[in-house]
Chain A
Amino acid sequence: MARVPFWRRYARWLGPNVKADVSDELRFHVETKTDQLIAQGWNPADARREAERQFGDLREVSQMGEQLGNERERTRQRKDYFGALLQDLRYAVRTLGRDRAFTAIAVVILALGIAANTAVFSVVNTVLLRPLPFPQSDRLAWLSSDRNLDPKIREVAGLSAITYTVDAFEEYQRHNHSFEQVAAYNPFFGNGEFTMTGHGEPQAVAGVMVGGNFFETLGVHPLYGRLFTKEECQKNGRGAVLLSYPFWQRQFAGDPAIVGQTVILSKQPALVVGILPSGFDFGSVFAPGSRFDIFVPAVMDILRDWGNTLALVGRLKPGVSVSQAQAEADILFPQLKAAHPQWWGTYDSTITSLKDFVTGKLRRSLLVLWSAVGVILLIVCVNLSNLMLARSSARSKEFAMRMALGAGRGRILRQLLTESMVLSTGGAILGLMLAFVLIRYISRQGSIALPLLSSIQVDAAAMGWTLLVAALAAALFGLAPAFKVASGNLQDALKDSGQGMSAGRRHERMRAILVVSEIALACVLLVGAGLLLRSFLRVLDVDLGFEPSRAAVIKIDYDDQGKAERRGPILQNMLENISAIPGVESAGVTDMLPLGRNRSWGFQAKGVAYRKGDFLAALVRIVTPGYLPAMGMRLIGGRDFTWQDGTHNEPVVIINQAAARQFWPDRDALNRLARVNGHDTRVVGILSDVREHSLEKAATPEMYLPVMQADPEGAELVIRTKLPPEALASSVMKALRAWNPAQPAAEFRPLQNIVDQSVSPRRFFVMLVASFALLGLILASLGIYGVISYSVARQTQEIGIRMALGASVSQVRLGVIAGTLRLALAGVLIGTAGSLAAARWIASLLFGTRPSDPMTFVSIVLLLCAVAVAAGYFPARRASRIEPMTALRAS
Chain B
Amino acid sequence: MDKSQLELVRGTLDVLILKALVWGRMHGYAITDFIHRESDEALLVEEGTLYPALWRLENKGWVESEWGLSENNRKAKFYRLTSEGRRHLREETKTWEAYAAAVGKVLGASRPRIAEES
* Residues on A facing B (Cβ under 8 Å): 2-4, 8-11, 21, 24-26, 28-29, 31-33, 35, 54-57, 60-61, 64-65, 68-69, 71-72, 75
Contacts and interface: CB of A to CB of B under 8 A. Distances in A.
Contact of A32 (B51, B52, B67, B70): B70
A4 B79 CA distance: 11
B8 to A, nearest CB: 15
B47 A29 contact: yes
Given A25-B28, A28-B77, A56-B47, A8 B52 contact: no
A75 B58 CA distance: 12
Interface in B60-118: 64-67, 70, 72, 74-77, 82
B72 A4 contact: no
Contacts of A26: 47, 51
A25 B58 contact: no
B47 A54 contact: yes
B59 interface: yes
Contacts of A11: 67, 75, 77
Interface string B18-54: 0000000001110000000000000000111001100
B76 to A, nearest CB: 5
A33 B72 CA distance: 11
Contacts of A29: 27-29, 47, 51
Contacts of A24: 75, 77
A2 B74 contact: no
Given A4-B64, A21-B77, A32-B70, A65 B55 contact: yes
Given A32-B74, A57-B48, A10 B55 contact: no
Top 4 nearest A-B pairs (CB, nearest first) are A56-B48, A68-B55, A11-B67, A25-B77
A26 B75 CA distance: 11
20 contacts: A2-B64, A3-B82, A4-B64, A4-B65, A4-B66, A11-B75, A25-B27, A28-B77, A29-B29, A29-B47, A31-B74, A32-B29, A55-B47, A60-B48, A61-B47, A61-B51, A64-B52, A65-B51, A65-B55, A68-B58
Interface of B: 27-29, 46-48, 51-52, 55-56, 58-59, 64-67, 70, 72, 74-77, 82
A21 B46 CA distance: 20
Contacts of A69: 55
Contacts of B46: 56
A28 B77 CA distance: 9
Contacts of B55: 64-65, 68-69, 72
Contacts of B67: 8, 10-11
A10 B65 CA distance: 9
A71 B47 contact: no
Contacts of A54: 47
Nearest to A55: B47
Contacts of B58: 68, 72
Nearest to A26: B51
A26 to B, nearest CB: 7
Contact of A71 (B59, B66, B70): B59
Nearest to B56: A68
Given A8-B67, A28-B77, A68 B52 contact: yes
A43 B64 CA distance: 36
A845 B52 CA distance: 76
Contacts of A32: 29, 70, 72, 74
Nearest to A3: B64
Given A11-B77, A24-B77, A25-B27, 8 more contacts: A2-B64, A11-B67, A24-B75, A25-B28, A55-B48, A61-B48, A72-B55, A72-B58
Contacts of B51: 25-26, 29, 61, 64-65
Nearest to B47: A55
B54 to A, nearest CB: 9
A55 B47 CA distance: 5
Contacts of B82: 3
Nearest to A28: B76
Nearest to B52: A64
Nearest to A52: B47
A82 to B, nearest CB: 15
A26 B32 CA distance: 13
B25 to A, nearest CB: 10
Contacts of A33: 29
Nearest to B67: A11
Given A65-B52, A68-B55, A69-B55, A28 B70 contact: yes
A32 B28 CA distance: 10
A19 B73 CA distance: 22
